[in-house]
Chain A
Amino acid sequence: MRWYCAMLLSAGVTSLWAQGTVTLHGFWARPAGKAIPSAAYGVIHNRGTRADTLLEAASPQARRVELHETVRDTAGRMRMQKLERLVVPAGDSVVLRPGGLHLMLYELQQALRPGDTLQLRLRFAQAGWQQVQCPVGPPPRLRRQPPEMPHEHRH
């Protein structure tokens, strides 16, 4: 019994430790009409001493969520490719950003409009399922700052 309790305690501590090692920051999602794919972006930070791996993602608001990367091919075309997993190195961050890595949301249950919130869950090999809420709207930097102005003409 003592051994069993020790195992449980150990498992719990391990779980807590593991879940605390991956944190999700600044996630947001693009507006999209119903049945139009959307994309979610943000920063995955791994504070642990071991690399972790993003294995899958899900949302109750989309039928399927996939990890994609936009790349430029040799003909100058922008194309997307699906990734099966994403390694987040120990003590490092991976940024999902427009024009690069992103989580692709297929078949939305309903349109995502600015001001909505997208619920997103990400499963990591070490940290397990992590949940994050993504405000829907333009990229955060576009919300905080006014449009860039042509300063050259202001004198």
Chain B
Amino acid sequence: MARARHKWGLLGGSAVLVASSLVGCHEGEPVREQYPLWTQQGTAVEFPQDFRGRVVLVAFFYVQCPDICPMIAERMRQIWEALPDTAGVQAVMISFDPRRDTPERLRDFAQAHGLPEPGFVLASGRPEVVDQLVERFGVVVQKTPSEFTAGGEAYFFAHSDVLFLLDSQGRIRKRYSGTDAPIAEVVRDVEQLRQER
């Protein structure tokens, strides 16, 4: 049942949710692999290739999550609304529950939580692709059984609470707590990366 996977430490640190300095350290290699995903509109995208040239905020979530993932979505929306200019910026939320999170459900989540389009892309993909993507980003995801969820789909996920910032080259430049990312700091970091483009 469990598909425990993935260790922290993608950026060379062992701390779980420590935001690092943007300048001069913890710059990751570009994410060169391509991950074919579908979006809430049912359109195919290659992640992160199709977002190159933009500064990208990336979070991982699942629609059935009642508490943490909506908090991550709210925080991303707050960051988005605080950006002085969203040109050249993209927010991407990737579901690690592709079996349930159809484009329709992704669309419903975006609507329920007021995530504006086209600024926010909600996406998922084939399970093996999502597994690889989650592992590439060092996100911890573990399926946990639940005695009571809709339609016999009796599971939740224990998962990381993390928000990534990618530069226009597709490099992971920083990570924050997803639910508690410091808005002013993220806005400042996004602006700095926008200037680097």
Contacts and interface: CB of A to CB of B under 8 A. Distances in A.
Interface stretch (B19-27, B33-41, B109-117, B126-134): B109-117
Contact of B187 (A36, A80, A150): A150
Given A36-B64, A76-B8, A152 B70 contact: no
Contacts, number: 114
Contacts of B108: 33, 36, 111
Quick one: which of A70, A78, A106, A113 has the most chain B CB within 10 A?
A78
A151 B105 CA distance: 36
A153 interface: yes
Chain B interface helix/strand/loop/mixed: mixed
Given A99-B71, A139-B74, A147 B113 contact: no
Interface stretch (B46-54, B140-148, B166-174): B140-148
A104 B184 contact: no
A76 B82 contact: no
A45 interface: no
B149 A99 contact: no
Contact of A78 (B8, B109, B149, B161): B161
Interface residues of A, number: 42
Given A76-B8, A102-B67, A106-B150, A113 B184 contact: no
Contact of B148 (A106, A142, A149, A150): A106
Contacts of A32: 66, 112
B112 A150 contact: no
A148 B78 contact: yes
Contact of B82 (A33, A142, A148): A148
Interface string A15-51: 0000000000000001111011111000000000000
A2 interface: no
Contact of A150 (B16, B74, B105, B183): B183
A46 B167 CA distance: 50
Given A99-B71, A153-B191, 17 more contacts: A32-B66, A37-B64, A37-B66, A39-B66, A68-B67, A70-B67, A73-B158, A75-B140, A77-B158, A78-B68, A79-B156, A98-B179, A99-B67, A138-B74, A147-B81, A148-B183, A150-B183
Top-7 shortest CB links A-B: A76-B16, A79-B158, A31-B112, A77-B158, A37-B66, A150-B184, A35-B150
7 contacts: A33-B109, A68-B67, A79-B156, A98-B71, A104-B67, A113-B112, A153-B188
